[in-house]
Homo-oligomer: A and B are copies of this chain.
């Protein structure tokens, strides 16, 4: 499905992922990435305009794959609650099983300029939209509250999950991330207040 980009392109991105995850963006010299990718320093500039592009493309590429997974998993689920749970499950498990990627999305990606942050926001759009769509669908189906502020809630949902992942990562991954899905979903669906 992904257009068959040059093999080197992929190798460089893989190298960047490894190096960024290990050393962080600012401590990752281009030459180190080149070595990890098995290409010459200059070669990188045949595929990427600048170092920052590596981060952006890496992010787009990987996020693209993730979103695809989200969409594939959710497509056939009519139950929006089930679908939202699936989204959360994928969010947690994918990052749990892909620590390097987690490092990059939770830590390195934030180490960037305002402009890049906007770039990132843009690339997140599809994921955010997917959540937004689920919310709309849920409202239609009268599964979710009719008066939800969708724009706000999608942020709350995403931010909540995002923090759980970051915290898990910084803590040294001492517990299971995917085991938090149930608690997270209960919070999302019912909040913390004791039912009357």
Interface residues on A, range: 35 or more
Copy total for this chain: 4
Judged by a CB distance under 8 angstroms, whether A107 is at the interface is yes
Asked if A162 is at the interface (CB within 8 A of a chain B CB), the reply is yes
Residues in B whose Cβ lies below 8 Å from that of A43: none
Residues of B near A3 (CB, < 8 A) are none
Q: Which residue of B117, B152, B184, B194 contacts A152 across the interface (Cβ within 8 Å)?
A: B184
Bound Cα distance from A159 to B160, whole angstroms = 4
Q: Are B193 and A144 in contact (CB under 8 A)?
A: yes
Tell me, in angstroms, the Cα distance from A195 to B195 when the chains sit together: 9
Q: Once the chains are docked, how many angstroms separate the CA of A143 from the CA of B193? A: 6
Residue A180 at the chain B interface, CB threshold 8 Å: yes
A-B interface, 6 closest residue pairs, ranked by CB to CB distance from nearest: A159-B163, A110-B110, A191-B191, A189-B193, A156-B160, A190-B191
